[in-house]
Amino acid sequence: MGDVLAGIHATWELESDALVIRFDRGIRTPKLFSALRERRVPHEALASVTLTPGKRGTVVLHAVPRPGADPLMEAAAGQLKEGSDPYRLVLPAERETLAEQYRDELRALLASRPGAAGAVGYEGEAYDACDAGGVAPAERFLVAPPTGPQSFKAYDGKASFDGTSEVAFRWSWTGASTEKWRSGDQVFPVRDLCGVEWRSPDGVDGYLRLVPRGGGPRSERPDQDPACVVFGRYGPVYESLTFAASVLAAIRGKDRTPVPVPVPVSAAVDPGAVAERIRHLGELHRAGLVTDAEFSAKKAELLAEL
């Protein structure tokens, strides 16, 4: 054990019970990788490992995590771009033979795990190890989330988490909607939450929403929901996603009992609310956070609601 494989932006080290991923911190390294620094992934947290051709003379090793094993990937919910996936290791094509050896060694470890079922190999070939589609979801998080107090700035406020028990939203004087100002700054004990919804700030409608226990009506619109901060191209992925993962892990740690996530309540369209959303979109556009095309498309979408 202790086999080390250095790739582009990251290095993998294979231990007897875990895959240790250490990320570079150079200027060209994706910021999410630099923020994560190092991740220790127990073998039981992995479903499979694949090796596929990459772009421009590279190959890609991909360790596929089990559903429910990693709070970061659970919070991301499939929204990460390939280049920001912490489980992908990109290597020059001339290192393909070495990558194959590493893949086979990791496969053997996964296959020896109790309950292993089968895996996917190079370019889709079948292999008797672990198939990501046939592995049961993990009953608890197996990969540690980012630790310690965290905070980030969103368009309409600042979100902060003390690392264990409390999340706070402080509204921005210029960005927050009237509804949020009326509700005042918010403090959420982790014990009163049952989930986190993260929509990537790479899109126009990115947000982070805290889901309270007990259900009850809540607005469909993030800019009107006091349990939600809107990104508007603020709150970069590496800050807001690690924040969401940490809060989600704290929630699961407080209470292992599954709690249904309440569904937003549909309501009759309020022309005034639509006008407020268009005003908010215009502010993003004037600030250069939304392109002309994005502004026109989203404005047309909002007007269609009337």
User: Using one digit for the tens of pLDDT, what is the confidence trace for 224-242?
Assistant: 999 999 998 777 899 999 9
Phi, psi of 305 (to 5 degrees): -75, -20
Mean pLDDT of 128-148: 75
The confidence band for 134, taking pLDDT boundaries of 50, 70 and 90, is low
Mean pLDDT of 255-261: 45
167 vs 11, 176, 243, 250, CA distance in Å? 33, 18, 10, 11
The confidence band for 150, taking pLDDT boundaries of 50, 70 and 90, is very high
Q: What is the DSSP letter of 8?
A: B
Mean pLDDT of 96-114: 90
The confidence band for 287, taking pLDDT boundaries of 50, 70 and 90, is low
Q: Is the pLDDT of residue 75 over 50?
A: yes
Distance of alpha carbon 275 from alpha carbon 151, whole angstroms? 31
Distance of alpha carbon 19 from alpha carbon 2, whole angstroms? 10
Please list, in sequence order, all residues whose beta carbon lies within 8 angstroms of the beta carbon of residue 67, skipping any fewer than 6 positions away. Answer: 47, 74, 135, 137, 138
Note the pLDDT of residue 85: 97
97 vs 100, 177, 185, CA distance in Å? 5, 56, 56
Note the pLDDT of residue 121: 37
Note the pLDDT of residue 260: 44
DSSP output for 142-200: -SPPP-S-EEEE-SSEEEEE-SSSEEEEEE-TTTS-HHHHHH-SEEEEGGGEEEEEEE-
Average pLDDT value over all residues in the chain: 84
Distance of alpha carbon 198 from alpha carbon 191, whole angstroms? 19
Note the pLDDT of residue 129: 35
Note the pLDDT of residue 248: 97
* More confident: 143 or 173: 143
| Burial class of residue 213 in the structure, from the number of CB atoms within 10 Å of its CB (0-12 exposed, 13-18 middle, 19+ buried) | middle
DSSP output for 133-149: GGSPPPSS--SPPP-S-
Q: Is the pLDDT of residue 94 over 90?
A: yes
User: Using one digit for the tens of pLDDT, what is the confidence trace for 176-234?
Assistant: 999 999 999 999 999 999 999 999 998 878 999 999 998 767 788 999 999 999 998 77
